[in-house]
Structure 1
Amino acid sequence: MTASLAAGLPDGFEVSIRADVRCLGDGRVLVGGSPLRAIRLTEGAVELMDRGRLRVVDRRSGVLAQRLLDANVADPVLATMTPTDSITVVIPVRDRPEQLDHALAALHPLPTLVVDDGSTDPEAVAEVVARHGARLVPLRVNVGPAGARNAGLATVTSPYVAFVDSDVEVTAEGLMRLARHFEDPRVALVGPRVVSVARSVQPRWHERYDEHTSSLDLGGRACSVRPGAAVGWLPSACVVGRVHLLAGGFDDRLRIGEDVDLVWRLVAAGHTVRYDPTVVARHDTRPTLAGWLGRKFAYGTGGAVLAQRHGDHTAVARLSPAMALAAGALLLRRRWSVPVAAACLARSASSLAASLPELVVTPRLVTQLSARGLGWSLRQESSLLLRHWWPAAVVGAIASRSVRRAVVTACVVDVVAAASEGVRDRPVAAFVGRRMDDLAYGGGLWWGSVRARSPWALSVQWASRPGSARRHGRMLTDSHRANATLENMIGGWKG
């Protein structure tokens, strides 16, 4: 057993049931979380709850709190602020003295060290570092951001370290708020919401687009980060870690995807990684279209290496067979599409009704969850056609009218999904931006797969149907029995 698994939550630690979780059956069944699940509480567990909150007072309540957090049906209630001398900030940089100046100005009074990763003008970097009273670690040879962060990590003596890129602005207060998550001894890494900001005097259209749909922005929903959850990784642009749990830090052999690799290694080791969108870091957009598209392409190329290391975690979609067939039928828009989709939806509803606790099964709940699964599947299959598999979709569209029809339908689904998420300004520019984003990322994904001679980065994960919850007995969060997720019946959304 790892140290993180053996350590329990301290007495006085509190968690609160999330606002988006449904409390059914007089609070005895919780439906929500990520992956989506239904959790049935024992009478003893219900008695420990107080108006949606749980305070750790003994081992039993501590185990319950841990399971609610891990299921993403509860969030921690944090209060204690971390002292400034407990965090050291490490900034890897190669040139970019103006951006470094902005980053350092926001971090006062935290102790900060800057790792110069082989700048072409090291004197300019050194002057900025000296002006802000930071410490400089010069590297003569460029080793990449992962290696530069590790070089800084090797000199850190404080219990926590914050990695902040030179083109990111985050306040010292924000980093200290993130460090509050270390009240949970299992937490090894925590990250804020990273939003894009255009610094140009007259931002170009792609910069404005990136401000609304940055690849680094993981949304406004807090999460226990792991593969398959709503937030499956954290960008290394800004993260705070517990030094003794980082185990050597990033893999410096990786120039792309080193942050994803670190998160997944930490989770595999039994540690907890959290995403806290109440803290916001601002990341500079790339001012040129070529630079912006080039970065998207580079992100895509990292998929193949991550697939070789982490297998199904990199799947481009998670689908149940029934919902995949239903969504595929709707995308094709044939006369038989609606009947096929209805039959698949009915099968999914039957599986859900057998898997939910009898206490809360209603036609309305089952229908809502099934419809949610169909919506996930439609969006994921549309994304496959337009983003991850677009080279194959182009070839198919040349030869097949059905594929062309599916691609057009996928574009409509994309527009509707974007509108539902609040992307309504400049709709034409937003649509063009998404297509260019998809072309660049998908092109990188295929290029990386070809170079690796492996298709795994392009694969879909099929959700298998577990046994009925009723056959497995009651679903208890304060016992040793684990709850099967509803996403095994309806699939899961891979954002």
Structure 2
Amino acid sequence: MRPPASRLPNGFVVRLNRLVRVRDGGRTLVGGAPTRVLYLTSVARRLLAGDALTVVDDTTRALADRLLETGMADPVVGSLAPADEEQLTYVVPAHERADALGRLLGSIPAGSRVIVVDDCSEHPEPVRAVAEEHGATLVRLEVNVGPGGARNAGLAAVTTPFVAFVDSDIVLEPGAIKTLLRHFADPRVALASPRVLALEAAEPGTGWIARYEEARSSLDLGVHAGIVRPRAPVSWVPSACLVARVDALGGGFSDGLRVGEDVDLVWRLAERGWRIRYEPAAEVRHEHRVTLGDWMLRKAVYGTGSLELGRRHPRDIAPVILAPWSALLVVAVVAQRRWSLPAALVLMGFTAVRIAEKVTKSDHPYRLAGTLTVTGSLAALTQAMALLLRHWWPVTVLAGVLSPRVRRAAAVAAVIDVVIEYRRTVLAAPPLSGAQSRLLDPVRFGIARRLDDLAYGAGVWFSALRGRSLGALLPDLRRRREQ
């Protein structure tokens, strides 16, 4: 099903997000997902006073919808109308782990509709007992179908307009689901996802993997809200906790996908024109894996999902997306020759001139073009670091044996990557317990970061070789930039 024509209600408020730059006295906006340049009419310029816009008529409605669709603005969630939780059903896939299931069900508001799907547990009685204790409806599967299939079995029994898929190793923070439901005031929103943080244990552990996960879990997508779709800053959301519009889901998760089913669902919905929102103001807690072997195995399993995702979404699975000029820039920098810096500067200058020819509506086209070129260059180099350290690390290791330049490039990339991620995660947010001792030091953070990349990359390569497909490893070189 495709989304209905957008009809944002009066009182709906949107605000320009942190990635948008306002130029030319408010006439030009630069940002979005992907990055583009948007020129406002004189009327739109007056309506967008400051960085916020309230829908009051058809004109403001059209402008707000345009800003949402380009990824330049996000809803101000506190301004959205509260939703009726009676219109929501919780679907919980479960396999063994009755204690965790009971912990989750205890965090769901009393009186809620809850369907627990037992995905063929070998010991079903504890699961049944916990479901009965909390007044949940139990659906028992005789064949294990994985979490996606179990969610679909629960979805088939849902009769409400909205559904919340919540895994049994989650604990809901008060008001989290209520906050997510507010986003459905936008009729084009199909899915909303909260921020997934580490579960706070009664006696917090001090293991360094646990502390790394608290700061840099794969499920924690950060502090900034945003639209979710391929090539956006938030390109997917985990199925550990999702609220969805039932009519938008169709059959739900793809059959047969046991890894990456959440990415596949998000990308299918986005391709059909639905909006997916990531909302960090809503928080849930997740029981992370904290032992080294179990943790690395899970990271590798995440990587193996790239094979099927590549077959279903070949244009979206590439590890990097580069314009030809930025690919040449990366080659020049990594080459580390005498000509590297002059060549990079020439490429950037040529690109800036070409961009300036396309943004002539700006009052300062060359200044704007220079900003876009520098931003694009930094993004390209950041993606190159990810290739060297994460997706292509087996190639990096083999090439590094023969080439000191490759070793040097990998070493510099590793240091820069750790500095950026440590500052963005560990230093930017306080530890869960508030105790300074729980901060992970940069050295162990860096080791965990590299092990994270090693495990994930190994999973990608394993699935690529097994499936005889390099789609998830090849860069995507696109000649035209979306504006």
TM-score (normalised: structure 1): 0.89
Question: Which residue of structure 1 lines up, in the alignment, with residue 381 of structure 2?
Answer: 378
Distance 2:382 2:209 in 1: 23
The equivalent position to 1:428 in structure 2, one of 436, 443, 464, is 443
- 387 and 20 in structure 1: CA distance in 2 versus 1, 3 angstrom threshold: closer
Distance 1:5 1:26 in 2: 35
Query: Which is further off, 405-414 or 242-251?
Result: 405-414
SS of residue matched to 2:198 = strand
Question: Which residue of structure 2 lines up, in the alignment, with residue 81 of structure 1?
Answer: 82
Question: Which residue of structure 2 lines up, in the alignment, with residue 55 of structure 1?
Answer: 54
Distance 1:238 1:378 in 2: 33
Distance 2:49 2:338 in 1: 53
Q: Would you say the 8 A contact 1:204–1:287 is kept in 2?
A: yes
Question: Which residue of structure 2 lines up, in the alignment, with residue 440 of structure 1?
Answer: 455
* Pairwise CA RMSD: 2.0
Question: Which residue of structure 1 lines up, in the alignment, with residue 472 of structure 2?
Answer: 457
The equivalent position to 1:122 in structure 2, one of 121, 124, 147, is 124
Question: Which residue of structure 2 lines up, in the alignment, with residue 319 of structure 1?
Answer: 322
Distance 1:188 1:414 in 2: 34
Question: Which residue of structure 2 lines up, in the alignment, with residue 72 of structure 1?
Answer: 71
Please state how far the C-alpha of 1:71 moved relative to its aligned partner.
1.1
Please state how far the C-alpha of 1:7 moved relative to its aligned partner.
4.0
Question: Which residue of structure 1 lines up, in the alignment, with residue 35 of structure 2?
Answer: 36
The equivalent position to 1:141 in structure 2, one of 140, 143, 162, is 143
Q: Would you say the 8 A contact 1:304–1:445 is kept in 2?
A: yes
SS of residue matched to 1:34 = coil
Distance 2:318 2:252 in 1: 25
- Number of corresponding residues: 467
Please state how far the C-alpha of 1:355 moved relative to its aligned partner.
2.7
Query: Which is further off, 315-324 or 252-261?
Result: 315-324
Please state how far the C-alpha of 1:103 moved relative to its aligned partner.
1.1
Distance 1:24 1:269 in 2: 32
Please state how far the C-alpha of 1:218 moved relative to its aligned partner.
1.4
Distance 1:360 1:283 in 2: 49
Q: Would you say the 8 A contact 2:198–2:213 is kept in 1?
A: yes
Q: Deviations over 1:5-60 (max 9, x none)?
A: 43422344332223442222221111122212211011232233343333334444
Amino acid at match of 1:162: A
Amino acid at match of 1:165: D
Amino acid at match of 1:182: F
Question: Which residue of structure 2 lines up, in the alignment, with residue 471 of structure 1?
Answer: none
The equivalent position to 2:288 in structure 1, one of 285, 289, 302, is 285
Q: Would you say the 8 A contact 1:198–1:207 is kept in 2?
A: no
- 244 and 52 in structure 1: CA distance in 2 versus 1, 3 angstrom threshold: same
Question: Which residue of structure 2 lines up, in the alignment, with residue 246 of structure 1?
Answer: 249
SS of residue matched to 1:195 = strand
Q: Would you say the 8 A contact 2:91–2:114 is kept in 1?
A: yes
Q: Would you say the 8 A contact 1:236–1:259 is kept in 2?
A: yes
Distance 1:228 1:98 in 2: 38
Structure 2: 5+ residue runs without aligned partners? 428-439
Query: Which is further off, 400-409 or 268-277?
Result: 400-409
- 157 and 438 in structure 1: CA distance in 2 versus 1, 3 angstrom threshold: same
TM-score (normalised: structure 2): 0.91
SS of residue matched to 1:206 = helix
Q: Deviations over 1:167-219 (max 9, x none)?
A: 11123521011011111111111111112336475342111111111111112
Query: Which is further off, 85-94 or 419-428?
Result: 419-428
Structure 1: 5+ residue runs without aligned partners? 467-483, 486-495
Distance 2:426 2:367 in 1: 30
Question: Which residue of structure 1 lines up, in the alignment, with residue 310 of structure 2?
Answer: 307
Are positions 1:368 and 2:383 aligned together?
Answer: no
Q: Would you say the 8 A contact 1:170–1:282 is kept in 2?
A: yes
Distance 1:234 1:183 in 2: 20
Please state how far the C-alpha of 1:232 moved relative to its aligned partner.
1.1
Are positions 1:13 and 2:12 aligned together?
Answer: yes
Q: Would you say the 8 A contact 2:103–2:171 is kept in 1?
A: yes
Q: Would you say the 8 A contact 1:190–1:274 is kept in 2?
A: yes
Question: Which residue of structure 2 lines up, in the alignment, with residue 298 of structure 1?
Answer: 301
The equivalent position to 1:405 in structure 2, one of 398, 405, 408, is 408
Are positions 1:276 and 2:274 aligned together?
Answer: no
Amino acid at match of 2:188: R
Question: Which residue of structure 2 lines up, in the alignment, with residue 207 of structure 1?
Answer: 210
Please state how far the C-alpha of 1:363 moved relative to its aligned partner.
5.3
- 357 and 65 in structure 1: CA distance in 2 versus 1, 3 angstrom threshold: farther
SS of residue matched to 1:456 = coil
Amino acid at match of 1:67: R
Q: Would you say the 8 A contact 1:195–1:211 is kept in 2?
A: yes
Structure 1 stretches of at least 4 aligned residues deviating more than 6 Å after TM superposition: none
Question: Which residue of structure 2 lines up, in the alignment, with residue 216 of structure 1?
Answer: 219
Distance 1:332 1:280 in 2: 44
Identity of aligned residues (%): 45
SS of residue matched to 1:311 = coil
Q: Would you say the 8 A contact 2:353–2:366 is kept in 1?
A: no
Question: Which residue of structure 2 lines up, in the alignment, with residue 187 of structure 1?
Answer: 189
SS of residue matched to 1:251 = coil
Amino acid at match of 1:101: G
Distance 2:228 2:4 in 1: 16
Q: Would you say the 8 A contact 1:333–1:405 is kept in 2?
A: no
SS of residue matched to 2:115 = strand
SS of residue matched to 2:313 = helix
Q: Would you say the 8 A contact 1:9–1:66 is kept in 2?
A: yes
Please state how far the C-alpha of 1:364 moved relative to its aligned partner.
4.9
- 422 and 91 in structure 1: CA distance in 2 versus 1, 3 angstrom threshold: closer
Q: Would you say the 8 A contact 2:104–2:170 is kept in 1?
A: yes
**Which runs of structure 2 are paired with 1:345-364 in the superposition (5 Å)?**
345-361=348-364, 364=367
Q: Would you say the 8 A contact 1:198–1:285 is kept in 2?
A: no
